[in-house]
């Protein structure tokens, strides 16, 4: 099991301890961004609701991702279920333009893809 990336310490794929590399390491893990994105768009959710929204995620992967995202300070457990923290919401807001760019990229590839 990979340890939680921490700003200031080297992470997978980089000897740098730059905080951005730790963030990319964590968000690049399977389903990490999807869980944060789903909570940010859907509001508070129980484990089961979140699993249903993420469709193909296994309970063990969801449990692991939630644990990591909570430890990193991006997700918290409230009386209504799991919610993004203010920091998690900030990350989501910063990812939104990237989502739009990804759609543009997908459209461009679809138009220019050789047959």
Domains and CATH numbers, the chain: 19-105 (1.10.10.10)
pLDDT mean across residues, the chain: 89
Handedness of CA 64, 14, 85, 43 (dihedral sign): negative
Rounded to two decimals, the pTM is: 0.82
Residue 51 structure tokens = 């699993």
- Whether pLDDT at 112 is above 80: no
Q: How far is CA 52 from CA 49, 58, 71, in A?
A: 5, 10, 23
Question: Look-up: residue for tokens 């990229």?
Answer: 105
pLDDT band at 114 (very low <50, low <70, confident <90, very high): low
- Whether pLDDT at 19 is above 90: no
In terms of Cα–Cα distance, which of 49, 47, 55 is closest to 77?
Answer: 47
| The predicted structure's pLDDT at residue 13 | 65
What's the CA gap between 38 and 20, in Å, rounded? 22
| The predicted structure's pLDDT at residue 1 | 54
């Amino acid at each position: 099991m990979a340890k939680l990336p921490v700003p200031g310490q080297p992470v997978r794929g980089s000897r740098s301890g730059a905080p951005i590399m730790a963030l990319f390491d964590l968000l690049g893990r399977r389903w990490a961004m999807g869980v944060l994105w789903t909570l940010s768009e859907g509001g508070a959710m129980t484990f089961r609701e979140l699993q249903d929204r993420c469709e193909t995620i296994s309970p063990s992967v969801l449990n692991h991702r939630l644990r990591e995202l909570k430890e990193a300070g991006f997700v918290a457990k409230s009386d209504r279920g799991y919610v993004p923290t203010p920091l998690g919401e900030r990350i989501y807001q910063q990812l939104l333009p990237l989502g739009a760019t990804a759609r543009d990229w997908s459209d461009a590839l679809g138009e220019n893809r050789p047959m």
